[in-house]
């Protein structure tokens, strides 16, 4: 049974395909840039040579960064926005360091050649060379954006403030790009180099425009979502039902989320990531959210008929990554929302573990039980304080997991919950030696 079921799945795992595709793309570009650098020739000054190389890699990293944030559906469905966000962070560090290297080495190099002080040289270049001032401003902007994204700053900033600062990166990219056109040795060196850089930048720009602007606008014009009902699930949890046009054509899958904007006077500027809490049925959508910040609690006050602007669907927490015929779904708290949707969509025998502090927190439990009954799935509610330890260790520890789901090795495991719980479950699964290809986790807190 296992054999036939696996044969029907594609030979190459989608995530592996997307990852290798991205890495191949990046590798090919690094090679191309290196060749262009070699063609342009080295300067007699070593510092200048290093600075130029750093600048070229920095430009490449910036273009790659644009691709990562473009939210192209193909990549997002396969890799997931949480992983892409992690890569985005690393690419961000790369950009910061390469550009700093570019600035420092070039300035020191030219200062050495011209026998001037470093500051004098920098001021002179900014005053006399096209694009130096732009590059300096771009770098300053990138420093500010990077600083605002550092963990300690990020915690103190409202999401909207942070996002607003982050948008300045586009201005920095534009300034940096014109700097490269004006002064790039390799850029001006040959027609091949020129063609390469233009293609790279135009491609990156087109990806961002398509994924961040054109696609969301088009989808919302097409579907025109409106709120049809707001239902309280628990004192601090609320479900929002929506409907729209041509929803059967919307490529959303159970387990995915959208960035929702409710177009009322005081909250249109807030975009919040909430998962669909029911598999899309082609007629309506439903999200369920817990009142964590001021945004979620405001959902309760939404009026029927409110227009909704939704960016998405996003996320790789779907059945396209399923490897095995049967599944285990593990939910923690409000992480039940995508799990509840997956339960409708997933094939085979399903076990659901639903971890909450106490029974009252177990939102959507009645419909979960109903669904389970209809399709022969098993739902276990695990209640108790966070650190509760029983005879077999912590509640979601390896021993307990193995007892509750003895065939866990044979199943795909989907985990969604608060970061601490998700990490604990992943740890247990590693200890139980469940193959990592079968483990799927949505890092909920990173979705923004």
Partner 1 sequence: MKKTIFVVALSIAGFIAVWRFEPGPVHNTSAIAQAPPASVTAPSTSAPPPTAAPATSATPSSPPRTSTSDSADTTVTTRGSAESSRYGTVQVQVTFTGTRFTAITLLQAPDSGRSLTALPRLQEEAMQAQSADIDTVTGATETSESYKTSLQAAIDARGNR
Smaller CB separation from partner 1, 120 or 370:
120
Interaction of residue 41 with partner 1, rule CB under 8 A? yes
Nearest CA to 215 out of 181, 182, 186, 251 is that of 251
Residues 316 and 83 sit within 8 Å (Cβ to Cβ): yes
Rounded Cα–Cα distance for residues 412 and 422 (Å): 15
Residue 262 β-bridge partners? 308
Q: Is 204 helix (H, G, I), strand (E, B) or coil?
A: helix
Neighbouring residues of 30: CB distance < 8 A, sequence distance ≥ 6:
57, 60
Q: Work out whether 130 is an interface residue with partner 1 (CB under 8 A).
A: yes
Cβ atoms within 10 A of the Cβ of 365, count? 17
Nearest 5°: CA angle at 39, between 33 and 41?
110
For position 126 contacting partner 1 by CB under 8 A, the verdict is yes
Which residues make Cβ contacts (< 8 Å) with residue 128, sequence separation at least 6? none
197 burial via Cβ count (<10 Å: 0-12, 13-18, 19+): buried
Kindly state whether residue 195 participates in binding partner 1, applying the rule CB under 8 A: no
> Which CB atom, from 163 or from 323, has the smaller least distance to partner 1?
163
Q: How far is the CB of 129 from partner 1 (least distance, A)?
A: 6
> Is it true that the peptide bond before 46 is cis, omega within 30 degrees of 0?
no
Q: Which stretch binds partner 1 (CB under 8 A): 131-139, 306-314, 351-359, 373-381?
A: 131-139
Q: Please report whether residue 133 would count as binding partner 1 according to CB under 8 A.
A: yes
Identity of the residue, 55 or 325, whose beta carbon is nearer to partner 1 in the bound complex:
55
The least CB distance from residue 164 to partner 1, in Å, is 7
In the bound state with partner 1, the residue whose beta carbon lies nearer, of 19 and 116, is: 116
| 56 lies in the site for partner 1, by CB under 8 A | no
Give the residue with the Cβ less far from partner 1, 213 or 360.
213
DSSP 410-421: GEEEEEEE-HHH
Q: Please list the residues that pair with 355 across neighbouring strands.
A: 332, 382
Residue 137 or 382: the one with the smaller Cβ distance to partner 1 is: 137
Work out which of 159, 162, 168, 241 binds partner 1, going by CB under 8 A.
Answer: 168
Q: Least distance from C-beta 299 to partner 1, angstroms?
A: 21
Residue 134 interacts with partner 1 (CB under 8 A): yes or no:
yes
Rounded CA separation 98/91 (Å): 10
C-beta of 184 vs 313, nearer to partner 1: 184
Nearer to partner 1, 182 or 404 (CB): 182
Place of tokens 């604990």: 424
**Closest CB to partner 1 among residues 190, 232:** 190
H or E element that contains 228: strand 225-234
Residue 164 in contact with partner 1, rule: CB under 8 A = yes
Nearer to partner 1, 69 or 175 (CB): 175
The correct pick among 30, 35, 129, 320 for binding partner 1 (CB under 8 A) is 129
- Of 82-121, binders to partner 1 (CB under 8 A) are 110, 113-116
Q: Tell me: does residue 127 bind partner 1 (CB under 8 A).
A: yes
> Which one, 122 or 351, has the nearer CB to partner 1?
122
Q: How far is the CB of 168 from partner 1 (least distance, A)?
A: 7
Least Cβ distance, residue 52 to partner 1 (angstroms) = 10
Joined together, the tokens standing for residue 285 give: 């959508």
45 closest CA partner among 96, 102, 109: 109
4 binds partner 1 (CB under 8 A): no
Query: What is the footprint of partner 1 within residues 342-381 (CB under 8 A)?
Result: none
Cα distances from 219 to residues 82, 121, 156, in angstroms, run: 22, 51, 33
Tokens 């003895």, located at residue = 406
Q: For partner 1, which stretch binds (CB under 8 A), given 83-91, 185-193, 243-251, 283-291? A: 185-193
* Residue 234: CB minimum distance to partner 1, A: 33
Identify which range of 5-13, 96-104, 125-133, 313-321 contacts partner 1 by CB under 8 A: 125-133
- DSSP-derived secondary structure for 71-89: --HHHHHHH-HHHHHHHHH
Distance of CA 59 to the CA centre of its chain: 22
Cα 18 to Cα 12: distance, rounded to the nearest angstrom: 10
Number of residues that bind partner 1 (CB under 8 A): 26
Residues found near partner 1 in the complex (CB under 8 A): 41, 44, 110, 113-116, 126-130, 132-134, 137, 164, 168, 171, 175, 182-185, 187-188
């Amino acid at each position: 049974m296992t054999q036939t079921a696996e044969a029907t799945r594609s030979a190459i795992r989608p995530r592996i395909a997307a990852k290798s595709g991205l890495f191949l793309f990046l590798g090919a570009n690094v090679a191309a840039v290196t060749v262009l650098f070699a063609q342009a020739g080295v300067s007699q000054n070593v510092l200048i040579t290093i600075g130029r190389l750093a600048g070229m890699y920095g430009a490449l990293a910036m273009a790659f960064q644009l691709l990562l944030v473009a939210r192209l559906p193909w990549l997002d469905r396969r890799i997931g926005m949480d992983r892409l966000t992690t890569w985005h962070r690393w690419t961000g560090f790369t950009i910061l360091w390469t550009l700093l290297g570019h600035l420092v080495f070039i300035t020191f190099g030219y200062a050495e050649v011209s026998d001037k002080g470093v500051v004098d040289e920098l001021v002179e270049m900014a005053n006399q060379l096209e694009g130096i001032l732009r590059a300096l401003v771009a770098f300053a902007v990138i420093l500010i954006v990077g600083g605002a994204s550092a963990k300690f700053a990020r915690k103190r900033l409202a999401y909207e403030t942070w996002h607003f600062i982050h948008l300045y990166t586009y201005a920095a990219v534009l300034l940096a790009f014109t700097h490269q056109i004006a002064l790039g040795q390799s850029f001006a060196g040959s027609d091949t180099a020129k063609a390469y850089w233009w293609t790279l930048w135009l491609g990156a720009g087109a990806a961002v425009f398509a994924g961040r602007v054109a696609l969301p606008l088009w989808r919302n014009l097409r579907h025109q979502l409106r709120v049809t009902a707001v239902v309280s699930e628990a004192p601090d949890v609320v479900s929002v039902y929506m409907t729209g046009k041509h929803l059967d054509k919307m490529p959303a899958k159970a387990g995915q989320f959208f960035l929702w904007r409710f177009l009322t006077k005081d909250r249109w500027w807030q975009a919040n990531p909430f998962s669909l809490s029911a598999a899309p049925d082609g007629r309506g959508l439903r999200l369920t959210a817990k009142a964590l910040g001021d945004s979620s609690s405001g959902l309760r006050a939404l009026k029927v008929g409110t227009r909704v602007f939704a960016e998405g669907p996003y996320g790789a927490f779907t059945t396209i990554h399923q490897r095995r015929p049967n599944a285990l779904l593990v939910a923690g708290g409000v992480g039940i929302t995508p799990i509840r949707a997956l339960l409708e969509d997933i094939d085979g025998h399903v076990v659901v573990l639903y971890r909450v502090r106490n029974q009252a927190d177990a939102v959507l439990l009645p419909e979960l039980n109903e669904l389970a009954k209809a399709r022969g799935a098993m739902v276990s509610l695990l209640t108790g304080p966070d650190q509760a330890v029983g005879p077999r260790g912590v509640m979601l520890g390896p021993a307990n997991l193995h007892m509750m789901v003895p065939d866990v090795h044979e199943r795909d495991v989907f985990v969604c919950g608060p970061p601490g719980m998700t990490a604990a479950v992943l740890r247990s699964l590693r200890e139980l030696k469940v193959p990592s290809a079968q483990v799927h986790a949505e890092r909920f807190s990173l979705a923004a």
